[in-house]
Amino acid sequence: MIQAEGVAAVTDESFGGEVLEAGLPVLVEFTADWCPPCRQLAPVLSAVAAETAGRLKVVQLDVDTNPGTTNRYGVLAMPTLLVFRDGEPVASMVGARPRRRLLQELEDVL
């Protein structure tokens, strides 16, 4: 998996504790090694994680090694970004995007 700097990786096993039970809103990137737009998004996620520290948790989930969570949320395209609040998905975005656009899309959940 292309690991974004400063962004934790979650798995099917850790998803509940790290995402669903988190005290902050959580941005989850569903990603894969074979996905070029995911590589483009990695530095954007790192920047967003740094800018929103304390207000938003940012994590990545590798779809190839974590099919349970991927299937549970019906993720079909990479990268898919889901925002969870209080254990529920509250926003969904598909595809790579620039940092400024992603921050604008996250304003409602921050």
Q: How does pLDDT run across 71-98, given as a tens digit for each residue?
A: 999 999 999 999 999 999 999 999 999 9
Q: What is the CATH number of the domain that holds 20?
A: 3.40.30.10
Residue ranges in the chain modelled with pLDDT below 70 = none
> In whole angstroms, what is the distance from residue 81 CA to residue 63 CA?
12
Residue 66 resides in a domain: yes
Catalytic residue (choose from 2, 35, 45, 61): 35
Catalytic residue (choose from 38, 44, 48, 81): 38
In the residue annotation, 38 being an active-site residue is answered as yes
The length of the chain, given as a count of residues: 110
Sequence-ordered alpha helix ranges (H) in 1-110? 15, 36-51, 67-72, 99-106
1 is written with which tokens?
Answer: 């998996």
In the residue annotation, 94 being an active-site residue is answered as no
> In whole angstroms, what is the distance from residue 47 CA to residue 41 CA?
10
Residue 2 resides in a domain: no
The pLDDT score that the predictor gives to residue 43 is: 96
Residue 81 resides in a domain: yes
The pLDDT score that the predictor gives to residue 101 is: 97
The pLDDT score that the predictor gives to residue 90 is: 97
Tell me which residue range forms the domain holding 40.
Answer: 8-106
> In whole angstroms, what is the distance from residue 44 CA to residue 99 CA?
5
Residue 3 resides in a domain: no
CA distances 37 to 30, 53, 69, 76, 108, Å, are: 12, 24, 21, 14, 24
The pLDDT score that the predictor gives to residue 22 is: 97
Look at the chain and report how many structural domains it folds into.
Answer: 1
The pLDDT score that the predictor gives to residue 110 is: 87
